[in-house]
Structure 1
Amino acid sequence: MWLEGDLFSLSTHTVSEKLRDDRLKLSLEIYDEFRDKLERAYLVISIDSPVNMDYRFCRWRISLNKFNISRVLKPFKEVVYESRRFLLLLYDLTPIKNMLDATNELYIEYKGDQPSNLDFVGLLSTYSVSGGGNKPGVFLFEEPIILEYGKKITINAPGDISRDRSIHMVMKALTPGTETVIKNDSRVLNGVEEYMTTIPSGENSFSIEVVRGVVYIPLIIAKERRFKDPNYSIRDVKVSEKSDKSPLLRIYLDNHGDLDVSEILVVALQRGRIIANKRISGVSREVELEIDKRLIDSNDPRIYLRVIWNWLGSRYFSSKEAVIRV
């Protein structure tokens, strides 16, 4: 299923919590900085229940930010393996996407005659951020997968083969120490885990093989990489003096990505100590940084300039050495 957007967020809880007569509260997030570019939103829930449990008679209620989402436990897909029934629930929140906050409170109420395991809860949101319009760029695989020992499948990576595609999966080991090989990357699973990889341009598929145990894969998301992430560097530094002999640095920046962040922090350090800093707009390519000459060690004129930015919940930086003589 193609979804509009060229960026997605999956805010998750791999809770693996047993439910019988419970009320849970979880927090799920969206990219607040791209709220005005939000295209689609889905709530994804994976439940592991006994095969003989009739979930139609369970008490089930979901609300998000006090808005009722569902009162019926109705799976989008279900898979049976031995004595377990795996339910995948998918709720389209797009009609109420304007009600979403940066952090959203999800309440789940469950009551059944047999306990079930709540394995995974995720808020999937997609955004159009590159200025190319709201074209489909995120693909949600709709069929859960169970793979036993010795089995191998090849999955076609959707989208333009001339672009890299990022893959995000949720996997659950159905036996302790389950081992999988994905694109020649071997990993041992215990419980529920998330896994990310990249399909490079020119390739159109990837393989998943189980070399020990059994794995359940309720969710696979693929995204075309239509833009380069922000990637700032310091191209040049020019040093002058103010009237009080304090150094004045003019710092020139480059962005090797296709998008800018909203804010950048430029920091000057000497021997690990911050001696100056300044916040600027992410679209700026030039900044003046004044340094108090009393903070500079004249015996060691080297300083390190660092440009720091946040992107999609992670912090990045690049550095450049400069020499200041006072």
Structure 2
Amino acid sequence: METTVEHLERYGKFVKSQSAKYADLAKTDIISYVKKFTLGGSDAGIMLEVDPFSSRQMRMDRMLGKMEEQEDSYILRRGHANEPFVASEFSLATGMNVIDGESYVNKDYPWISCHTDRTIIDKEFNSVPLEIKTISRNGKFNASEYEWGKGCKFNDNGELLIEDDTIPAHYMAQCQLYMFMAKTDYMYLAADIMSDSNGIRIYKIKRDDEIVNRILDAMTDFMFNHVLEGKDFPSQAAAEISPLAVDEKNMAVADKQLETLITTYKAIDAELNELKEAKEDVSMQIKALLANAKGAVNSFGKTLCTFTKTISRRFDSKALLNDHPEFSSYYKDCAPSYILRVK
């Protein structure tokens, strides 16, 4: 997808809007703030739909504030704290100097920004990125798409004897984007696999322009055809379904799959209605117990709930059009929509 002047202008307006909306966030969490209008290295795998932990819809929802950013966790903190150790082990194994990482932007793709964990000064004095991962074994570890190779082999002088680039697909995508942004033909990834007592594993990743172009196209499509348009991504399940044949009245002829889905839909709908009624009943009981109280706390003083009076002020468009029907044609917004009603 080619970047145009129109793209740049539309994106500029989006950045201005998001910057104003999340101005307070910039004061407390600059990383989360930047994610509100840019895509980074960890998003590359999401855009190619190879990330096992996130999806394009989830990333879009986080960018637009419909979903909270990933909370801090022990695993994330451990990974960050472990970076200096892994960097030191990499330098020990390869003899290459490791310095702080660098930030990268690209004038043709201002919606993409990257910051590498570390930068290597190789033996030809080139600066290349080093990505660092701290990995725990889990149920997905041995799946082929998340496979880790045995790593490169170096001799005692730090000379590379055997190359290995077998890393999970979402990390490969991340490295490919880093190489594009850093304008390098290769980089290294160092992984500390916590259950491996043989030391860190080192992988040499070479640039693949075909993958790079797919990432750039996917990120541009994500930003301009979905985020700026407010257009959600179809669910994976829906995307894989082939439409049914229709009869002369343009009615789909149901097969067993559709009949099963409709039965499931009805069951879920009935359950939701029951839950809604149960929730309302519990809500009324809580309000009765609170009476005129402003809320409730537990025995430790922690607030459990609040109960406040609010006055809702809504614009009564129906009353306006009844009083002034001549306004109707000026404010009608006609847009197609599809409503599903299950019988």
TMscore range, shorter length: under 0.3
Q: Higher strand fraction: Structure 1 or Structure 2? A: 1
Higher helix share: 2
More contact order relative to length (CA 8 Å, sep ≥ 6): 1
Larger Rg: 2
TM-score scaled by structure 1? 0.22
Give the TM-score normalised by the residue count of structure 2. 0.21
